[in-house]
Amino acid sequence: MTGTLKRGGMAMIAFLQAQNCSNLPGSWRHPATQQDFMSAAHYQRIARSLEESKFHLAFFDDRLAMPDSLGGDHAETVRHGIRAVKMDLIPILTAMGLATSKLGLGGTYSTTYYEPFHVARVFATLDLMIGGRAAWNVVTSLNDSEAANFGQKEHLEHDLRYDRADEFIECVLGHWATWADDALVVDPVSGLFAHPEKVRRLDFNGKWFRSRGPFTVPRSPQGHPVIMQAGQSGRGTAFAAKWGELIFASMKSAEAGRQIYRTFKDAVSNAGRDPNLVKMAPAVYAVVGETRAIAEEKRAVIEATAAPADSLTLIAEVTNFDFGQVTLDQPLSDTQMAAVGINLGLKERVVKGSGKTNPTPQDFIDFSKRGTLNESVVFCGTPKDVADQMEDFFLTEVCDGFVLSATHRPGAYEDFGRLVVPELQRRGLFHQDYAGTTLRENLGLPRPVVT
Ligand SMILES: Cc1cc2nc3c(=O)[nH]c(=O)nc-3n(C[C@H](O)[C@H](O)[C@H](O)COP(=O)(O)O)c2cc1C
């Protein structure tokens, strides 16, 4: 298969982190991990390898604080390297863009802690510098540690964050649509630089945000960056269905995923948009070996990288609750349970899995599996085994593609590209080559036009 990605082909996205480990905190302890994570060369090497394997997109998550909710302290996080480093991703995306020519490059920026004009300008500039391959993952952020880094006492309430985010994104998209596609002339002979009637001022006046304009960055070859989102709650899904073009999901099984997928596609239709133009992809791991025995051996090595502190540190971070207040086997009180945030549906999963209304911290570790390989779906086995599982997900409408997390970097992506990609291509499930040079062309997404 060549050409655009309609329902006929999977979207393949690499889930990257501008940090000392991948999404899996133990990954930096993996014997094959390359430890030069603070160098451009590290990310450029990954970018080139992903492009060789025809990945549509490499995308970075973000968090604006170190995980320090557990015990209100960062010592264990730093000692064990539990996502202790978190660099800004725009310079890294730029470096990766300069090492590639087709790979899409996406980054997460927060609507809670940044300003719309700033985000609009950063991503529009990135999109120009890399020839129309940029994407913005819109998040509302997570916890009080992030709030503290931005001079605030506590993180805003969940639904309110999305109300603000609605306005934020309206403002960003507004700025991106203020230069007509043919506004620029740049004719030194006539002296006409741009048509003044084709550049308008936005004059955005919202409840939370104001931004006047005129915007200072013209349009890119793909119009503007692709919008990515990962809301999963009722409010988050409504937001994603309204604005998102590429949606990330956290799902624990094909069955659960099918339900999430159907609910989401219905929400997109209800928002008056074409569900075929909004792709959904779950975060997954792939552990692949030439034989099943080799794959299982690799999996054992990966699982052995986990440290005892990883899980609860990241549970405290994502729930915005200090689990250090209770011992591991002490049930949380009703008041404490109420204070546990609901991000990623983690609380519900633990209550359901343990069968307890008041689970202990150990229950949270056991039933959320946070910070371990088994937190996400794991496709493990030979190239054929892994392709079979991915094919099943794709053809039975669990998803339109995959967000591949790395068990270690860069080896996990190299294994996948060498062993699984050819098998998916042989089956006609994954494109043989890029359809064009912009991310929109390669994902089969329409280019927004401004006249
Ligand atoms: C694959 C994936 C990546 C995500 N990346 C980030 C991120 O980088 N930063 C962040 O604050 N939240 C991130 N999230 C969390 C989502 O933005 C969202 O808050 C979460 O799925 C819970 O949904 P809700 O906001 O509707 O409650 C991610 C979620 C998923 C599934």
- The label of the residue with tokens 């970075």 reads 60
Please tell me the distance between residue 318's alpha carbon and the centre of ligand 1 in angstroms.
10
| Rounded alpha-carbon distances, angstroms, from residue 230 to 253, 264, 268 | 17, 11, 14
Q: Which atom of ligand 1 is nearest to the CA of 237?
A: 26
8 A C-beta contact, residue 168 and residue 139:
no
- Alpha carbons 317 and 267: distance in angstroms, whole number: 29
23 φ/ψ sector (left φ>0, alpha ψ -120 to 50, else beta) = alpha
State residue 344's pLDDT score: 61
Determine the atom of ligand 1 nearest the C-alpha atom of 141: 11
Residue listed under structure tokens 């557990």: 70
Name the DSSP class of 220.
B
pLDDT of residue 6: 45
DSSP 268-311: HHHTTS-GGGSEEEEEEEEEE-SSHHHHHHHHHHHHTT--HHHH
Q: Which residues have C-beta atoms less than 6 Å from ligand 1? A: 61-63, 108, 139, 141-142, 230-233, 236, 248-250, 283, 343-344, 403
- What pLDDT shows up at residue 4? 42
Cβ neighbors of 310 (< 8 A, separation 6 or more) are: 25, 26, 80, 82, 371, 372
Query: What is the Cα–Cα distance from 371 to 361, expressed in whole angstroms?
Result: 14
Q: pTM (2 decimals)? A: 0.96
Distance from the CA of 347 to the center of ligand 1, in angstroms? 15
Q: Which domains does the chain have, with CATH numbers?
A: 11-303+377-443 (3.20.20.30), 307-370 (no CATH)
How many whole angstroms separate alpha carbon 317 and alpha carbon 331? Answer: 19
pLDDT tens for the chain, 451 residues: list them: 444 444 659 999 999 999 999 999 999 999 999 999 999 999 999 999 999 999 999 999 999 999 999 999 999 999 999 999 999 999 999 999 999 999 999 999 999 999 999 999 999 999 999 999 999 999 999 999 999 999 999 889 999 999 999 999 999 999 999 999 999 999 999 999 999 999 999 999 999 999 999 999 999 999 999 999 999 999 999 999 999 999 999 998 999 999 999 999 999 999 999 999 999 999 999 999 999 999 999 999 999 999 999 999 999 999 999 999 999 999 999 999 999 986 667 898 999 999 999 999 999 999 999 999 999 999 999 999 999 999 999 999 999 999 999 999 999 999 999 999 999 999 999 999 999 999 999 999 999 999 8
Q: Give me ligand 1 centre to Cα 198, in Å.
A: 37
**Which of 119, 250, 368, 404 for a ligand 1 pocket mutation test, highest count of atoms within 8 Å of Cβ?**
250
Instruction: Determine what percent of the chain falls in helix, strand and coil, rounding each to the nearest 5.
Output: 45, 15, 40
Q: How crowded is residue 324: how many other Cβ atoms within 10 Å of its Cβ?
A: 16
pLDDT for 343: 65
CA-wise closest residue to 93 among 60, 48, 139: 60
Using an 8 Å Cβ cutoff, are 28 and 46 in contact?
no
The residue with tokens 């692949």 is 288
User: 344 alpha carbon to ligand 1 midpoint, in Å?
Assistant: 7
Q: What are phi and psi of 282, to 5 degrees?
A: -85, 155
Tell me how far apart the alpha carbons of residues 99 and 48 are, in angstroms, rounded to a whole number: 7
**DSSP state, residue 223:** B
Task: State the amino acid at position 224 in one-letter form.
Answer: H
Q: For residue 175, give every residue at least 6 positions away whose Cβ sits within 8 Å of its Cβ, in sequence order, or none.
A: 116, 117, 120, 121, 124, 202, 204, 211, 213, 215
Looking at residue 210, its pLDDT comes to 98
